[in-house]
Chain A
Amino acid sequence: MTSPETASPSLFGRLAGRSRPVRTSHDVVVLHDVTKRYPNGRMALRDVDLVVPEGDFVFLVGPSGAGKSTLMRLLIRDELATQGHVVVDGDDLARLRRRAVPRVRRKIGVVFQDFKLLPRKTVWENVAFALEVTGTPRAKIRPAVDRVIALVGLTAQAAQIPTQLSGGEQQRTAIARALVHDPRIIIADEPTGNLDPVISWEIIQLLLRINELGVTILMATHDAEVVTALRKRVVALEEGRVIRDELGAAYHRED
């Protein structure tokens, strides 16, 4: 098994320095000895260590039930870790006061397999919704929404409602919504799971472009072809444990 230490010297450095405080400004996500046990007794994550530096593009792979979704739910503080630390952009989520949770969530853009768009709102309104419900003044909403809609290439479709769009366009809308708060990280849970291969590649290309703009991307996926072709960092989970953490890796283990 390829250990994280051999895969990435910089990562080795971070993991070796466990004694120093987990707050580090250039790591967007730090999971330290994280265990999650659900009330029904199921162990979803066991002793997970994961450090994602700013600007990284990380694939999270593993079979269903391996803990990918639980990990993402911990990051958006939908759930709290049973043990260990989850630190997002310097905030230890376990110590975060309830009132501070929304502020942290605005630093995380989430994208799902099923898009989660509001069916009666247009593309533009769906994106603007994320700003409206967080109390953004109206004058600031228009330029911000126009900008991200242009970024994902949906300016022409801005006035359409989700049912008039293709799956790829719906996912672009969701990505635009995730981007509109100018997040530090985008967490994408199987974003191409409902899309055909060609469209999937378009979405991946979009995420890569966003990554180039400096946004960290953490993407859970089953798409072996995409993962293997891109040779990015791959974190593999199995039965709640990180069994592999490699840079420039393929979907399956290669040694």
Chain B
Amino acid sequence: MVAFVLFSIRRAWQGFWRNALMSLAATLTMVLMLTLLAGFFVLQNVLLASLTFVEQKVEVVAYVQNTATQDQVNALVAKVQAMPEVASVQFVSRDQALANFRQTLAAQGRPDLTTSLDQNPLYASVNVKLRDPSQLSAVVSAIGDQPIVRSVINIQALVDRVLTFTSVVRSAGIAILGIVGVIVLFIIVNTIRLAVVARAEEIEIMRLVGASDAFIRWPFVFEGALVGLLGAMITLGLLLLASQPLSQAMVSFFNVLPIELGSVGRDTTALVLGTGVGLGVLGAWVSVRTYLIR
């Protein structure tokens, strides 16, 4: 058994180098396809992260009557906090609201006209972040019924549009990733098949001299795995080289998009390695099968 595995690995290694050009072509195709796949995968993840970011921006803003006492406000905040749809609640007092507004004006470089006012024209507000933006209307109506709430900004139509858009983008992303995956599968399997077919004569001789199926198959399977592994490593190397400048470009392009991409690197590595080795093995397996004993 050990001798057989060693034999297969040695033959795979020999086969790889004796047909160096073919192996190189297969490996480069593998790199190209894996890069394509990984590219789409990362893109998909960035897209999903940005969509989540956009959805998190959905906020219910309820303006509070100026006559409301601090106790009433606290009661409202506590009540809203208790709602299961609510992620977090923040109370913005009138002074704070004015400060925020002034900051925004300053940031935009516009003159601050509020100083000419003799009193603060802004209302205090309760800003509610939702766990799920599709729960917007329920939360809006619940808060709007409260006596101390003056008005609730209704952004239902906008939120609906955002939600439709994000769900379309999500499905399209998954569909495109699936299509790219199938294309990658066929091209890699076909490339490995070419490498195997190029050695049809060798396989024929093996059969004629009485080699068992295992002795014919496994060296090619190991060789397919070798091509897959090598292709995956080169792809990961390229991605690693490209990731730093790319993410910097993204950050400057989107003007600081606070996206959480912690697990993407690990997932991409697993995807590239798994797809590469898996398809190399699969391609070799189905290609050699044609030549085995009928």
Which residues of A pack against B, CB within 8 Å?
Answer: 76-77, 98-99, 101-106, 108, 110, 116, 118, 120, 129-130, 132-135, 137, 177, 181
Q: Which residues of A contact B118 (CB under 8 A)?
A: none
Instruction: Report if A76-B293 is in contact (Cβ < 8 Å); known contacts: A132-B7, A133-B216.
Output: no
Contacting residue for B209 out of A98, A106, A120, CB 8 A? A106
Task: Decide if B112 is an interface residue (CB 8 Å cutoff).
Answer: no
A132 to B3: give the CA distance in the assembly, Å.
Answer: 11
Residue of B nearest to A180 (CB): B209
| Residue B145 at the chain A interface, CB threshold 8 Å | no
With both chains docked as a complex, state the minimum distance between the C-beta of B248 and any C-beta of chain A, in angstroms: 49
Mark each residue of chain B from 77 to 98: 1 if its CB lies under 8 Å from any CB of chain A, else 0: 0000000000000000000000
By a CB distance below 8 angstroms, the chain A residues around B135 are: none
Is B205 a contact partner of A118 (Cβ separation < 8 A)?
Answer: yes
Assess the B207–A116 pair: CB atoms within 8 A: no
Residue B18 interfacial (CB < 8 Å):
yes
A76-B4 in contact (CB<8A): no
Decide: A118 and B215 in contact? CB cutoff 8 A: no
Is there an interface contact between A102 and B211, defined as CB atoms closer than 8 Å? yes
Q: List the count of A-B residue pairs having beta carbons below 8 Å apart.
A: 55
Given A98-B293, A101-B293, A120-B18: A134 and B210 interface contact (C-beta under 8 Å): yes
Q: Choose among A76, A99, A137 the residue that contacts B208 (Cβ–Cβ < 8 A).
A: A76
- Determine if B212 and A134 form an interchain contact, defined as CB atoms under 8 angstroms apart: yes
Chain A residues with CB under 8 Å of B212's CB are: 99, 102, 134-135
**B267 contacts partner chain A, Cβ-Cβ < 8 Å:** no
Residues of chain B within 8 A (CB-CB) of A181 are: 209-210
Q: Are B209 and A129 in contact (CB under 8 A)?
A: yes
**Contact flag A135-B209 (CB < 8 Å), given A116-B201, A118-B202, A120-B18:** no
Task: Please judge, given known A-B contacts A98-B293, A133-B216, whether A105 and B210 are in contact too, CB under 8 Å.
Answer: yes
Q: How would you classify the secondary structure of chain A's contact residues: helix, strand, loop or mixed?
A: mixed
Residue of B nearest to A137 (CB): B3
Chain A residues within an 8 Å CB radius of B106: none
B210 CB contact (under 8 Å) in A99, A103, A118, A120:
A103
Can you name 24 A-B pairs with beta carbons within 8 Å?
Answer: A98-B213, A98-B293, A99-B213, A102-B212, A105-B210, A106-B209, A108-B210, A110-B208, A116-B201, A116-B205, A118-B201, A118-B202, A130-B210, A133-B209, A133-B211, A133-B216, A134-B209, A134-B210, A134-B211, A135-B4, A135-B212, A137-B3, A181-B209, A181-B210
**Supplied contacts A106-B209, A135-B215, 4 more A-B pairs, CB within 8 Å:** A102-B293, A132-B7, A134-B211, A135-B4
Chain B residue numbers with a CB within 8 Å of A135 are: 3-4, 7, 212, 215
Could you tell me if B7 and A102 are in contact, using CB atoms closer than 8 angstroms?
Answer: no
Listed residue (B202, B208, B209) with the most chain A CB atoms within 10 angstroms of its CB: B209
Q: Could you tell me the distance in whole angstroms from the C-beta of B158 to the nearest C-beta in chain A?
A: 66
Give A165 Cβ to nearest chain B Cβ, in Å: 17
List residues of B (170-207) whose CB comes within 8 Å of A's CBs: 201-202, 204-207
- List residues 244-294 of chain B with CB under 8 A from any CB of chain A: 293
Given A98-B293, A135-B4, check contact A130 B215 (CB 8 Å): no
Cα(A177)–Cα(B205), bound, Å = 10
- The answer to whether B208 touches A133, judged by C-beta atoms less than 8 angstroms apart, is no
What is the CA–CA distance of A105 and B215 in the complex, to the nearest angstrom?
A: 14
- B215 with A177: CB separation less than 8 A: no
Assess the B210–A129 pair: CB atoms within 8 A.
no
- The answer on a CB contact under 8 Å between A116 and B215 is no
- Residues of chain A with a CB closer than 8 A to B18's CB: 120
When distances are taken between beta carbons in the complex, the residues of chain A under 8 Å from B206 are 133
Within 8 A of A (CB), among B110-140: none
Please name the residue on chain A nearest to B18 by beta carbon. A120
Find out whether the CB atom of B210 lies under 8 angstroms from the CB atom of A102: yes
Q: Is the CB of A116 within 8 A of B208?
A: yes
